[in-house]
Amino acid sequence: MARGEMRYSSEGKQVHRFDNTPIPVNDYRLELCPEDLQVKRSEDKGPDAVPYINSRFKALDTAPKEGQKDRLVFQKFFLSMKPGSDGIIMPERGGGLVEFCRSFGEEADFAILTLVKSDKSTEDYFDPEEVLAYLEAKVGEVKSGHVIIEKAKEKDGTPTKGHPGNNKIGHWNLDVGVMTGQEEEAPAPKAPVSGKAPLKKVGGKK
pLDDT along the chain (206 residues), means of 10: 77 80 96 96 92 98 91 97 97 98 97 97 98 98 97 85 92 71 41 38 37
**23 has which bridge partners?**
none
Helices (H), the chain: 97-102, 128-136
Q: Is residue 206 situated within a structural domain?
A: no
pTM of the predicted protein model: 0.77
Please count the structural domains in the chain: 1
Q: Say how many Å lie between the first and final Cα of the chain, rounded.
A: 65
Predicted local distance difference test score (pLDDT) of residue 23: 94
Predicted local distance difference test score (pLDDT) of residue 153: 85
Range of the domain at 61: 26-172
Q: Is residue 202 situated within a structural domain?
A: no
Predicted local distance difference test score (pLDDT) of residue 200: 35
Could you read off the pLDDT of 81-136 as tens digits, one per residue? 999 999 999 999 999 999 999 999 999 999 999 999 999 999 999 999 999 999 99
**3-state secondary structure string across 64-101:** CCCCCCCCEEEEEEECECCCCCCCCCHHHCCCCHHHHH
Distance between CA atoms of residues 62 and 25, nearest Å: 12
Distance between CA atoms of residues 75 and 174, nearest Å: 18
Q: Is residue 204 situated within a structural domain?
A: no
Backbone phi and psi for residue 91, each to the nearest 5 degrees, phi listed first = -60, -20
Q: Is residue 191 situated within a structural domain?
A: no
